[in-house]
Chains A and B, each alone.
Chain A
Amino acid sequence: MESKPRMLTILDGITILLFLTAVGMVFFYAPLEAVMGQVQRVFYFHVANAWVGMLGFMVAAIAGIAYLRKGDRKWDIVGLSAIEISFVFFFTAIVSGSIWARGSWGTWWTWDPRLTTAAICELVYAAYFLLRQGIDDPDRRARFGAVYALLSFISVPLTFISIRIFRTIHPVIIGSGGSGAEGSFDMSPRMLQTFIFSLITFSIIFADLLWHRIRLGKLAEEAENLRLKTLQ
């Protein structure tokens, strides 16, 4: 295994700086929301976590196409890495959203179209890990992973558009939503800057973590190959 690339070390540093700046902006730069109060600050990282979730699922679908076309196992590592990171961040988005909902709507959970489709999306990707574990042959596992990443990606746009096509109480941040939304607020310029900065920061965090996770995936592949060689 080669030593850590210099570019990755630089990216780690940039990521930490951006993250600390984003935290500072959320707590000290963005103003207090007039109705919801402090809990509104959860919104910045809640949306950023959901964004990383959707971004990674999209990367995995693209990696799936690349694997099916080229048959190179490196794309399987990319797909698995992207799904693992996104699964974690999407889970965080669901839990932090639930906490926001308790403070804003007065309930931890409601079977609203956005919450329901997000939960289904997360469960679909949870199944990806379980099903992968059941396949021993690496090539079959990679082929299955590619097809599954492609098919499961259907749940991502469905989750995104659910608040735009169904009547829902979940606020719509980008674009216009239904009249039934509860917890909507007009973003002041400082709120918008914090929101956009958080989205950019979390995109960089995703890229950094993806690089680390791909390196881990390559290590795991090397270990698996050596183990098979030792057993022969």
Chain B
Amino acid sequence: MINTLLLQAPAETTRYLVAGYTVIFGIMSLYIISLVVRTRNLKRQLVMLRELDQERK
């Protein structure tokens, strides 16, 4: 009876669930952070380039 119940229990795979969602959330977060950082840096560059352009004029 106990053997039958044990055989029917789902496999213990929680650590792979944790690993899978760590990767999914981790990569998504990194990509969003990269978008924010690149946008911020480009805005700074644009301010600087516009100032240079004004000085040239």
Which of A's residues lie within 8 Å of B, judged by CB? 1, 32-42, 45-46, 49, 85, 88, 91-92, 95-96, 99-100, 102-104, 209, 212-213, 215-216, 219-220, 222-223, 226-227, 229-230
Contact = CB atoms under 8 A, between A and B. Distances in A.
A99 B13 CA distance: 10
Contacts of B24: 42, 45-46, 49, 92, 96
B35 A219 contact: no
Contact of A220 (B12, B42, B50): B42
A102 B49 contact: no
B42 A38 contact: no
Interface string B37-57: 011001101100110110010
A42 B16 contact: yes
A37 B14 contact: yes
Nearest to B28: A92
B16 A103 contact: yes
A99 B38 contact: no
A35 B12 CA distance: 10
Contacts of A38: 10, 12-14, 16-17
A127 B53 CA distance: 35
B16 A102 contact: yes
B46 A39 contact: no
Nearest to A215: B39
Interface of A is mostly: helix
Interface string B19-45: 111011001100110010011001101
- Which secondary structure dominates chain B's binding surface? helix
Contact of A222 (B27, B39, B46): B46
Contact of A91 (B13, B27, B46): B27
Nearest to A32: B10
B31 A96 contact: no
A209 B35 contact: yes
Contacts of B49: 223, 226-227, 230
Contacts of A40: 13
A41 B21 CA distance: 9
A33 B17 CA distance: 12
B6 interface: no
B20 A216 contact: no
Given A92-B27, A99-B23, A36 B11 contact: yes
Contacts of A215: 39
10 contacts: A35-B10, A35-B11, A38-B13, A85-B31, A103-B16, A103-B17, A209-B35, A216-B39, A216-B42, A229-B53
Given A213-B35, A219-B39, 20 more contacts: A33-B10, A36-B11, A37-B13, A38-B14, A38-B17, A39-B11, A40-B13, A45-B20, A46-B20, A95-B23, A96-B20, A99-B19, A102-B16, A103-B11, A104-B13, A216-B35, A219-B46, A222-B46, A226-B49, A230-B49
